[in-house]
A and B are shown apart, each in its own frame.
Chain A
Amino acid sequence: MAVQAFSAQPVKPTREEHDMTAAISVPDGATVEELRAAWWEADHGADARPFWTEVGRRFVANKAGVAALVFLLLLTSSAVFAPWIVRADPLVGVATDRLLPPFSPGHLLGTDEQGREMLARLVYGGRLSLATGFVPTAFATFIGTCIGVWAGYKRGISGTILMRTMDMLYAFPAILLAIAIGASLGAGALNSMIAVTIVFIPPIARIAESATRQVAIQEYLEASRLSGAGTLRILRTQVLPNVANQILVYASGLVGVAMLIAAGLSFLGLGSQPPTPEWGYMLNSLRDTIYSAPLLTVLPGLMIFLTSVAFNTASDALREAMDMRLA
């Protein structure tokens, strides 16, 4: 009876354990020809979708994620096609129309301290602001992946030196490091993107290194070495495809952060230079008008905030969609 009590829970084979070959019945002492025939008979193949189809299906099921993605797509396309969306020039203002409140006739969102139309500046400003989110993340992902994969696969002296250097960069608060790099490079949109790129390389290299270490102990890696493949070929065909997802998920969460840091840099005067519109810089230049036109000051900050929320939500959704034990 005691035994009964312990086995009360029905044992149900999981998908992993369910073995198709187990279903066939072959008499003992059957020839291999008979065995093969039985295997062919029983083999209908599993009905599974490709990985990215499945991820897409699960992402679409997440309403918040889809909404965030749609918002980001709209924002990106409005920034790209800005000249077709707003007619006003974002760089030239009318001196007599300074600091008009939102919903003024002819200026849907009002005008800034130089009489330039806010709507135009916000739409055009999205170009640089979104770029400061994507570009540094993309470059840092590329460089960090190279460093991390190399260090994780090769280990040795080169790997140790690379990773210890990353640790040292990691000892700085992210924003501070970006400010310090930005300050020594000098102001400018390009320099601020370089600064953010450098700041993001260490965390991505760490993720890539630990993911690579996990792959490096798998038997399929030994199998590929056994085939006589060289290091670069192994990294390209065996390691990269298996670490890419982890890095991708992590990097997607950094786009919003990159934009925040870059906005902070422009806020300090280290980012884009006047008169080029950029949300962080706009927030700073409108700071003195909080007493006279508070609503105008809030607008660029609101754009940064909404975009950042959208990036974080979309990244969360992607993480959930990709989190499945397929392999």
Chain B
Amino acid sequence: MNARRPVLLDLRDLSKSFTARVGLRSAKVSAVDGVSLALRQGGTLGVVGESGCGKSTLARLVVGLIAPDAGEVVFDGTRMPAGQKRPRRVVRDMQMVFQDPHSALNPRATIGEAVGFPLRVQGTPRREVSERVDEVLTQVGLHGNYRSYYPHQLSGGQRQRVNIARALALRPKLVVLDESVSALDKSIQAQILDLLRTLQDTYDLTYLFISHDLNVVEYMSDEVAVMYLGHVVETCSAHDLYRRPLHPYTKVLLASIPKIDPRQRSTERNLASGEIPSPIDPPSGCRFRTRCPFATDHCSAVRPEPVEVEPGHWVACHLYPSPGTVVEPPRRLDATY
């Protein structure tokens, strides 16, 4: 539905690795490796994957909390300078809602101070700060007089709404939501998700929605990117992800969702064997090959490039060799769905 709207955020070949200490030696941890994604104005891109797959690093690369080793972030047509302070306009246009409602608010600052902080840093006059704080608090359904409360006096759901209010205070275009509902109870999750959707419609917000929870991602997103060990393995519409998963890893992820109806439960076990490998010295070629039932020698030698298997459906897997040729997914797995 957003197909014709302009691209707001364009990630080109982003890579980031960290140095970790293993004993006395230091090792490279590849957190994000060659990720390219595009996000259109007003849309929601969901990023899904197991913990440790580089989702949070990706979020921090996008908003500029960490600088990429390679690749670039293009926002609203402008290339972001790597490793330097971003222009004020971009700071205002890009905000983030963090994962942990306990840790994302300064325990020694009142709600009003927390929400007003970005405004004051950006030089908004005191009077306007106060008005704007009231306004955004109301938008997330909090009484204006909550401004004098401290975070510990609020419930988890309330705190997460304050976090959203803080992100909205500067009237951003893009909001990065990093596991923003994961720490909440299911019932409150639903309330917060509804709030986020309404806010998106009202203020024409663009979301980068990061979560490990497939159900939540499908509910929120227009498009979904599946990440595994720093690589994007599959990109498609949220609708297709559930109905036509192509990458073996995506199938594993979907199969791991508990089903209520016993008839839908997977009869296949051990679709993928073993644990997720350490991001220190990740497997060569396709990083999923160590757990993939279809892995061949080719998989360890060559990293698969993303291929548009169907319109708008990209997969990085050697099972889908060339563009245009629709390959039926392997039968053994298909029986599951």
Contacts and interface: CB of A to CB of B under 8 A. Distances in A.
Complex: A in contact with B (CB within 8 Å): yes
Interface of A: 16-22, 26, 30-32, 35-36, 39-40, 43, 45-46, 48, 50-51, 218-220, 222-229, 233, 237-238, 241-242, 326-327
26 contacts: A16-B156, A18-B155, A19-B188, A21-B191, A22-B157, A22-B185, A40-B143, A45-B146, A46-B149, A46-B154, A48-B150, A219-B99, A219-B104, A220-B98, A220-B104, A223-B96, A223-B98, A223-B163, A226-B63, A226-B64, A226-B65, A226-B96, A227-B117, A228-B122, A237-B106, A241-B108
Given A20-B158, A45-B143, A218-B103, 8 more contacts: A21-B158, A36-B141, A43-B143, A46-B154, A222-B65, A225-B65, A226-B64, A227-B118
Interface in B158-210: 158, 163, 166, 170, 185, 187-188, 191, 194-195, 197-198
Contact of B107 (A19, A224, A226, A327): A327
Contacts of B221: none
B49 interface: no
Interface string B77-107: 0000000011010010001101110111111
B188 A21 contact: yes
Contacts of A35: 141, 191, 194-195
Given A219-B99, A241-B106, A228 B155 contact: no
Q: 4 closest pairs, A vs B, by CB? A: A327-B107, A21-B157, A241-B108, A227-B118
B155 A220 contact: no
Contacts of B185: 19, 22
Nearest to B186: A22
A45 B194 CA distance: 22
Contact of A19 (B141, B152, B155): B155
Contacts of B64: 226
A21 B107 contact: no
A36 B191 CA distance: 10
A214 to B, nearest CB: 11
Interface in B286-333: none
B121 interface: yes
Contact of B141 (A40, A218, A237): A40
Contacts of B149: 45-46
Given A222-B98, A227-B122, A237-B117, A19 B109 contact: no
Given A21-B155, A22-B188, A225-B65, A219 B100 contact: yes
Interface in B213-266: none
A316 to B, nearest CB: 24
Nearest to A240: B108
B151 interface: yes
B35 interface: no
Contacts, number: 122
Contacts of A50: 150
Interface string B120-145: 01100000000000000000011101
Nearest to B65: A222
Contacts of A224: 106, 117, 121
A31 B195 CA distance: 9
B106 A228 contact: no
A220 B191 contact: no
B198 A32 contact: yes
B191 A228 contact: no
B61 to A, nearest CB: 13
Contact of A326 (B107, B145, B158): B107
B132 to A, nearest CB: 14
B197 to A, nearest CB: 8
A48 B152 contact: yes
Interface in B51-67: 60, 63-65
A43 B153 CA distance: 12
A195 to B, nearest CB: 34
Contacts of B141: 35-36, 39-40
Contact of A26 (B143, B153, B157, B191): B191
Contacts of A36: 141
A177 B103 CA distance: 40
B335 to A, nearest CB: 33
A306 to B, nearest CB: 36
Nearest to A243: B108
Of the candidates A218, A222, A226, A242, the one having the most CB atoms from chain B within 10 angstroms of its own CB is A226
